[in-house]
Structures are given as structure tokens and as C-alpha cells.
Chains A and B, each alone.
Chain A
Amino acid sequence: MSAARDSQARRALSALRHDPPAVAGAVVLLALVVVGTAGRWLAPAGVNDVDVDQMLHPPSWAHPFGTDELGRDVLSRVLVAARVSLEVGVVSVGIALLVGAGIGLVAGYYRGWVDNVLMRGMDVLFAFPVLLLAVAIVAVLGPGLLTAMIAIGVVYTPIFARVTRAGVLSVREQVFVRAAVSIGASDLRIIRRHVLPNIAAPLIVQTSLSLAFAILSEAALSFLGLGIQPPAPAWGRMLFDGRGFVTEAWWLGFFPGAAIFLTVLAFNLVGDALRDVLDPRQLTLGEASRSTT
């Protein structure tokens, strides 16, 4: 069984290597991780070094991405802000994955009224447009890094619950699981040994696609001033602050947005490639979950 899974993983990797967009996405992601961890040292200037003589300067050798309305170096702020985006993305999708997969597992495995109650609850969360619910949660809990993570995590939980439940339902009826039940294996053992390995593929795909959406949501929240609070730099917030100057200083609007775009694109490319390899039938659940902000 595990040998089969190894070869599946190897097949997936080799397929990914022959997919140029996926390779490009992976390279960008790698660069992002480097920037995310070492951004502070890579940045040519401090993120809050205000310089009133250098306000709204266009890109130059000294400031490749220009300076903002307070004379701060845009490149440095973009580099350092990468960390926030990645952190929020990873933590919130982690929350959604753990909670959602847990709920889906319990609902699909035990079925009956437990299933009913849990999944109706997920339906309720699904009834809100993604960003609206996130905004409402942050508004109530108070803006900040942690609440943004929680809000985005909650919003993406139902998708993971549905994907997991669907997988569990199909696995549960298979012969080897029924056999394990009949010889009296414990629920926990069956779930760990038989169910989890078989629903891993759709979950991996959903995770990578959700990372893209989560980062987009984080950017939207911070654009609305509901993400990490100033003076810490965040891409969305930089766009919000720069929007008033955009006709005079295009670089304020361009570079932070391009950073968001590249990050989301990279996650999407890798996610699509993973889906093609691991789970070709899972068509549009991820796409359907991307609603406009």
C-alpha cells in the first residue's frame, strides 16, 4: 500500500516536472519562501524609514520600486510584506484544513444525524459570500493578524469539510474498509490506515488551491484595513494607501499588486498541476469557491 503511494507520489513529481507552468509556479513559490524568511535582510532599507526629502520618487537605482508618500522604500516594504501574506495564507488554510477535514471525516464516517447537523452547519457558512463573512468576523473580533487568520480559516472550512466528506463516503463503501470493519478494527485505526491515505489526494489539491484564495482574501482584508495593522507593511494595505496617489505615482499601485498577483498565480499554477495529476475528476469545487471580492 505504502509502496503504491510512493510510486504515485513519484509519478506526480515527474509529471509536474514536465509541466512548464507548474515549474514556473514552483520557482516563484520557492523565491517567495526565501523572501518570506529573509525579507528583512534582503530589504535595502528599513520598512519604516521615513524620508521627507524622498517623497513619491519614481523608481530609480536607489529605490527600484520608488518611494511612497512618506518617502519609504517601496521595494523594502514589498519584500518584508511577503512574510505576512504567506503566514496568513498558511495558518488560515491550516485552520480550515484541520477543522474542515475533521468535520468532514466525522460527518462522512459516522453519517446519520451527526452528518446532518455538521453539514447543515457548513451549508450555513457557505451561504455567505466569502469576503463578506471574513469582514464581518474581523469586524467583530477586532482587526489584526490573528483575527484575519481566524476569519479566513472559518470561511474556507466548509470547502474542506465537503471535499473530505465526499472522499470518506466513497472510501467507506470500498471492500477493504468494509473488511476492516468486519474484523473489528477500531474506528481510529480504520480512519488512519484506510480512510486518510485515500482522501489525501483531493485534500492536497484543495489545500494548494485554497492557499491562493486565502492569500487573495488576506490582501482584500488588509486593503480594507482589517489585516495586520500599520506601520507593519502588507501588500493590500499598501495598495489602499497608494490608491489616492495612483495617477501621479503609478509605482505605489503597481508593485504591491503585482506581488499579490504573482503569489496567487504561483499557488494556482501548482494547484492546477497537482489536480491534473492527483485528482483529475475534482473539477470546479475550488474555482466555484473563488468569488469576487
Chain B
Amino acid sequence: MSRFVLRRLLQSAVVLLGVTLVVFLLLQLVPGDPVRVALGTRFDPQTYEALRTRAGLDRPLVAQYFSYVGRAVTGDLGVSFRSGQPVTRIVLERLPATLSLALTAVLIAVLVAFPLGVLAAVRSGSALDHAARVFSQFGVSVPDFWMGIMGILLFAGVLGWLPPSGYVPLTEDPAGWLAHVLLPAATVGLVTASILTRFIRSSVLEVLSADYVRTAEAKGLRTRVVVLRHVLRNALIPVITVVAVQLASLLGGVIVVEVLFAWPGIGRLTYDAVQARDYPVLQGAVLLVAALFLLMNLLVDILYARLDPRITAR
């Protein structure tokens, strides 16, 4: 068990190092002088020199990379070309908004996909199964921002039930937060649900044909007991992984949906940084998201090992 964790930890560390290299190289790929590009018409020699020195751009490339990694380890991701504020703080400030949106979306997705996927598998071939398949095909193919726009049109425009966009912190006004989060979370959640439904259905179907399910049926257990005790436990182990991976990718900020709903999370921050050519903020956001993504995947693998006694034994 601990050897498995150690190996995965080492693997993730190597990949994370690669991630820092990619993120570092992003800035080098900017055609021309990134600081000059970023400053644009606000150019003045003093700011220019200060930012260049702060970003370490006046040193050789290899030295730059090592100092970048070195500072990143201590939590220093440089300063914004725009505001001069520390990138780490700017990015972390956006985390609660993204977190609350991602978690709500995953909650919606699980609430929809779980019963739908399980029932579709248990009653495979039924009308419900077909409906589930249509739903998942729809969700995998629909652009989420289009669904978001249609949601705004219906719930904010025609019905007037929900605000079309905006954000209220959960800690300040829970009801207001809920009203604002519902549309974007449902938009993201339904797309996620469609992927989950498909996965849960095939996972349950696979377990249903397992020998030990026939054993359980042979014992004369009620169908409900067979499904709940024997099928679901086994079928849901891989599903948990997928849920966690989906959550991980949502934590990376759902750029388009956050832009559409004016939701001030990491995705929106990325977009603003791109518009403003604020490269350190872009780098910081991308690095943080990738690191979170890796961490989540690591946790998922460890969780998976805990859930499946067969892996723990190794």
C-alpha cells in the first residue's frame, strides 16, 4: 500500500516538474518582449525595467527556469504585469468562487447521473434506458455555453426566476449565492452528468454479468439487495474515480461558463489575464490548476486503492 502511494507520489512529482517547464516556456513563446507587449500603451521605462527584473527576464534561460521553480515551491509565482500584486494572492482569491461552482455542479451531476445510470443498466433495453442514452449523447455533444445561453433565455428571460449572471459569495448571502449559482452549475452539471450516466450504466452492466452476481441471485436474495449490496459496491468503485477526475477538471475553472455568467473564478481570471496579456497571472492560474488536477488524480488513485481490497493487498 505505502509502496504504491510512494510510486504514485514520485510519478506525480515528475509530471509536476514537466508542468512547470511547460508553464515556464509559455512566457518564452510570446513573440517579442512579453513585458513590452503587456504594457502596451502604458509603457514607461521604470515600470518596464522593474517588471523585467522581477520576472527574472534579464537572466539566462536555464537560470530563469530554476529560479522560477525555486520560487514557485515557496509559493511565489511572481507579480502581475498589470497590478503589480502577487500572482499567488490573485489566484487564491478566485478559488472559493470556482470551488463552490464546481462542487455544486458535481453534486447536480451525481444526483442526475446516479439514478439514471443505475436504472438504465438494471432495466437495460427499457424506455428509460433509451432515454438515458439519448440524454448522454445530447450532453456529450452540446456546447455548454450554448446550453447556458438557452438557460439564461428561459430562466432569466422568459420566466424571470433566476438572475442571468453575477456572483454573491456564499459566506455573505447563501440565498443570493444559490440563486446565482444554479444556472451555471446546472449548465456544467448536466454536461458532466451525461458523461457520468454513460459510465455508470456501462459499469453497472458489466458487474451485472459477473459470476458473483449470479451467485447472489442463486441465493434467492431480493433484486434490491442484489443490486444494492453486490452490484453497486463493485460498479461504483470505478465510477468514483471518474467523478473525482471530473471534479478535478472542473476545479480548473470552467472558463467559458464562468465568462458567460460573469462568475469570478479561476476560469474568468484566466480569460481576463489573456485579454490583458498579463502573462504571470496566466502562468500562475495554469500552474495552480494543473497542480490541483494532478493532486486530485493522486488522491483518486489512493482512494481507489482503499476502496478496492484487491489493490490494497498488493
Say if the two chains contact directly (CB < 8 Å): yes
**Quick one: CB contact mask for B165-198 with A, threshold 8 Å, 1 for yes?**
0000000000000000000000010011001001
Report the Cα distance A123→B260, complex, angstroms: 31
In the complex, residue of chain A having the shortest beta-carbon distance to the beta carbon of B146: A257
Contact B286 A243 (CB under 8 A): no
Interface presence of A148 (CB below 8 A): no
Report the Cα distance A129→B247, complex, angstroms: 11
**Quick one: CB contact mask for B21-34 with A, threshold 8 Å, 1 for yes?**
11000110111000
Interface presence of A260 (CB below 8 A): yes
Contact B143 A257 (CB under 8 A): yes
**B21, B256, B275, B277: the one within 8 Å of A293 (CB):** B256
Contact A292 B250 (CB under 8 A): yes
Contact B249 A220 (CB under 8 A): no
Chain A positions within 8 Å of B, measured between CB atoms, are: 21, 120-121, 123-125, 127-133, 135-142, 212, 216, 219-220, 223-226, 236, 239, 242-243, 246-247, 250, 253-254, 256-258, 260-261, 264-265, 268-269, 272, 283-284, 287-288, 290-293
Contact A123 B15 (CB under 8 A): yes
**B18, B146, B202, B290: the one within 8 Å of A260 (CB):** B146
Contact partners of A133 in chain B: CB under 8 A: 286
Contact partners of B157 in chain A: CB under 8 A: 246-247, 250
Report the Cα distance A221→B275, complex, angstroms: 13
Contact B274 A127 (CB under 8 A): no
Interface presence of B244 (CB below 8 A): no
Contact A141 B29 (CB under 8 A): yes
**Quick one: CB contact mask for B242-268 with A, threshold 8 Å, 1 for yes?**
100110011011111101100000010
**Number of A-B pairs, beta carbon distance below 8 Å:** 168
Contact partners of B48 in chain A: CB under 8 A: none
Q: Which residues of B (217-260) have their CB < 8 Å from a CB of A?
A: 242, 245-246, 249-250, 252-257, 259-260
Contact partners of A219 in chain B: CB under 8 A: 143, 145
Report the Cα distance A40→B277, complex, angstroms: 35
Known: A246-B152, A253-B146. A128 touches B26 (CB 8 A): no
In the complex, residue of chain A having the shortest beta-carbon distance to the beta carbon of B15: A123
29 A-B residue pairs with CB within 8 Å: A120-B15, A124-B15, A124-B18, A124-B19, A124-B22, A127-B293, A127-B294, A128-B286, A130-B249, A131-B255, A139-B273, A139-B282, A219-B145, A220-B145, A223-B143, A223-B259, A224-B255, A224-B274, A243-B149, A254-B150, A261-B146, A265-B138, A272-B137, A284-B202, A290-B195, A292-B257, A293-B145, A293-B254, A293-B256
Contact A139 B274 (CB under 8 A): yes
> Given A254-B150, A261-B143, 10 other A-B contacts at CB below 8 A?
A21-B137, A124-B21, A136-B270, A139-B273, A140-B26, A239-B149, A246-B153, A257-B149, A283-B202, A292-B144
Contact B143 A216 (CB under 8 A): yes
Among A138, A236, A239, A268, the most chain B Cβ lie within 10 Å of the Cβ of: A239
Contact B30 A129 (CB under 8 A): no
Interface presence of B300 (CB below 8 A): no
Report the Cα distance A250→B150, complex, angstroms: 8
Report the Cα distance A188→B277, complex, angstroms: 45
Report the Cα distance A135→B282, complex, angstroms: 10
Contact partners of A288 in chain B: CB under 8 A: 242, 245
Chain B positions within 8 Å of A, measured between CB atoms, are: 14-16, 18-19, 21-22, 26-27, 29-31, 137-138, 140-147, 149-150, 152-153, 156-157, 164, 188, 191-192, 195, 198-199, 202, 242, 245-246, 249-250, 252-257, 259-260, 267, 270-271, 273-275, 277, 279, 282, 286, 289-290, 293-294
Contact B150 A226 (CB under 8 A): no
Contact partners of B242 in chain A: CB under 8 A: 288
Contact B274 A292 (CB under 8 A): no
Among A135, A212, A225, A254, the most chain B Cβ lie within 10 Å of the Cβ of: A135
Q: 7 closest Cβ contacts across the A-B interface?
A: A257-B146, A124-B18, A247-B157, A265-B141, A129-B252, A291-B249, A139-B274
Contact partners of B245 in chain A: CB under 8 A: 288
In the complex, residue of chain A having the shortest beta-carbon distance to the beta carbon of B294: A127
Contact B143 A287 (CB under 8 A): no
Q: B138 to nearest A CB, angstroms?
A: 8
Contact partners of B143 in chain A: CB under 8 A: 216, 219-220, 223, 236, 239, 257, 260-261, 264, 293
**A120, A140, A239, A287: the one within 8 Å of B145 (CB):** A239
Contact partners of A239 in chain B: CB under 8 A: 143, 145-146, 149
Known: A140-B29, A220-B256, A260-B146. A268 touches B198 (CB 8 A): no
Contact B195 A132 (CB under 8 A): no
Report the Cα distance A283→B202, complex, angstroms: 9
Known: A140-B26, A268-B140. A129 touches B249 (CB 8 A): yes
Q: A131 to nearest B CB, angstroms?
A: 6
